[in-house]
């Protein structure tokens, strides 16, 4: 029996348990910053296969949030240290998949709102592949030398979980990794396949609040006011010129206004309007230019409309909701791409274009210049993908209430791909 056959045999033995774990995680999702049960399950499973486990790794500025990060360390002789990361949190979405293990969880948030909770981004799938990888690495310990750092990260959806773990001393309390790896489910790629991009893979994320201030009054006498609703409309339109006229067409960038709130009644011109923006880019200089332009345009339009200087818009970049661009180290991408092709077959490894979605996984490599690599894991029934391409029903995207990954063979592929990647980096 060759090594690949042994890997398949060990994985085949695990599949029933992994499918059960996945369904259990899917049925019991937890929101960002509240992943207590999920973290406990991950910690228990890591301990059961021989990892030294540390729980509650994370430090937030908000004292009411506890860090639910989990770190499992398996030291197996001299050699490189590889960090493998999974995310743990779910989303405030009501599940409509009608799966027998669908979530019916509903919780009250800190602000008193009652919300449904669902794993609509595949973090339950990621955690299952993560645990399967952890188990296989210990089963195959005689074939490699080095250390594996399994990191269960909370609060990915709010983009502050990775930073919370780093603030809590992740790289001071545990071995500094030589490589950092992660996977993410893909809502359009067939189960059984993986895909990746060398270089920029996912965009940076900034959330920006703009408070447009004016001078309110009666709707029948607009000349006596400085209407912030009109100003907000002009600002929204002008912001779209940043990407089209200030950023090189060779650089990807997005500025989108996702929320606008202002006013209380038909005939009242309010004093303020609030905008919420999402800003995406790959390059750091482009990100800085986007943010500077948002402030300049907002202020300039207000001044041109006669708003007093002390009432010009307040632009606030939400420091907590920031994620750097995810950059796949080209050398590492080339190396692991070859591993995937050998392990999964040439036809099951796809070159994908970069996307403007965001992740905070990039933080694990940013501060210490650690080579990182994230790949997409196909999670859709191939028949549904084919039907969709031929004009059938559109596939539910990530964050959809109908998102339902095909558990098998997705989990099998994810565990095999990640395990093979780690083994290549720590092989004797």
DSSP string, 226-283: B-HHHHHHHHHHHHHHHHHHTS-TTS-EEEEEEEEEE-SSTTEE-SEEEEEEEEEESS
> 76-104: per-residue pLDDT in tens?
999 999 999 999 999 999 999 999 999 99
Q: Which helix (H) or strand (E) holds 22?
A: helix 3-27
Q: Tell me what pLDDT residue 367 has.
A: 78
* 428 alpha carbon, distance to own chain's centre: 33
pLDDT in tens, 211-242: 999 999 999 999 999 999 999 999 999 999 99
108 pLDDT higher than 90: yes
Domain covering 3-197+352-425 assigned CATH 3.40.630.10 in the classification: yes
Give me the residue spans of the domains in the chain: 3-197+352-425, 204-322
Query: Is the per-residue pLDDT at 300 higher than 90?
Result: yes
Q: What is the CATH number of domain 204-322?
A: 3.30.70.360
Question: Is there a cis peptide before residue 357, judged by omega within 30 degrees of 0?
Answer: no
Burial of 68 (0-12, 13-18, 19+ CB in 10 A): buried
Structure confidence at residue 394 (pLDDT): 92
Among the listed residues 87, 156, 190, 329, the single catalytic one is 156
Report residue 395's pLDDT band, with 50, 70 and 90 as the boundaries: very high
| Measured distance CA(362)–CA(174) in Å, rounded | 18
Q: Is 8 a catalytic residue?
A: no
| pLDDT score recorded for residue 322 | 93
Instruction: Respond yes or no: is residue 156 known to be catalytic.
Output: yes
- Compute the distance between CA of residue 180 and CA of residue 73 in angstroms, rounded to an integer: 14
User: From the candidates 45, 89, 124, 329, which is the catalytic residue?
Assistant: 89
Average model confidence (pLDDT) for the chain? 96
pTM of the model as a whole? 0.94
């Amino acid at each position: 029996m060759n090594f690949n056959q042994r890997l398949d045999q060990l994985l085949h033995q695990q599949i029933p348990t992994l499918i059960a774990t996945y369904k259990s995680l899917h049925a019991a999702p937890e929101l960002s910053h509240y992943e207590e049960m999920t973290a406990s399950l991950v910690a228990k499973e890591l301990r059961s296969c021989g990892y030294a486990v540390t729980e509650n790794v994370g430090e937030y500025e908000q004292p009411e949030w506890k860090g639910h990060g989990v770190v499992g360390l398996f030291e197996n002789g001299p050699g490189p240290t590889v960090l493998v990361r999974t995310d743990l949190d779910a989303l405030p979405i009501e599940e409509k998949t009608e799966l027998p293990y669908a979530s019916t969880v509903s919780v009250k948030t800190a602000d008193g709102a009652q919300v449904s909770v669902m794993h609509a981004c595949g973090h339950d799938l990621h955690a299952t592949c993560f645990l399967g990888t952890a188990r296989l690495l210990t089963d195959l310990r005689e074939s490699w030398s080095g250390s594996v750092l399994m990191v269960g990260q909370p609060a990915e959806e709010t983009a502050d979980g990775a930073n919370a773990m780093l603030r809590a001393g992740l790289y001071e309390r545990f071995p500094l990794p030589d490589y950092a790896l992660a996977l993410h489910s893909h809502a359009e790629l067939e189960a059984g396949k993986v895909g990746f991009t060398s270089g920029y893979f996912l965009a940076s994320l900034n959330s920006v609040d703009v408070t447009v201030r004016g001078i309110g009054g009666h709707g029948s006498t607009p000349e006596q006011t400085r209407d912030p609703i009109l100003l907000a409309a002009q600002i929204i339109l002008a912001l779209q010129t940043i990407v089209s006229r200030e950023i090189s067409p060779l650089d990807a960038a997005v500025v989108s206004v996702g929320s606008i709130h202002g006013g209380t009644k038909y005939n009242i011109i309010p004093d303020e309007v609030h905008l919420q923006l999402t800003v995406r880019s790959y390059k750091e200089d482009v990100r800085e230019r986007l943010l500077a332009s948002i402030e300049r345009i907002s202020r300039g339009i207000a001044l041109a409309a006669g708003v007093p200087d002390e009432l010009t818009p307040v632009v606030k970049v939400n420091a907590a909701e920031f994620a750097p661009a995810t950059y796949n180290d080209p050398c590492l991408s080339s190396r692991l791409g070859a591993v995937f092709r050998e392990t999964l077959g040439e036809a099951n490894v796809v070159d994908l274009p970069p996307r403007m979605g965001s992740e905070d996984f990039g933080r694990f490599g940013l501060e210490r210049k650690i080579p990182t690599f994230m790949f997409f894991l196909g999670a859709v029934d191939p028949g549904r993908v084919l039907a969709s391409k031929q004009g059938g029903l559109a596939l539910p995207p990530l964050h959809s209430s109908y998102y339902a990954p095909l558990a098998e063979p997705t989990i099998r592929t994810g565990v095999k791909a990640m395990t093979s990647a780690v083994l290549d980096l720590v092989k004797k």
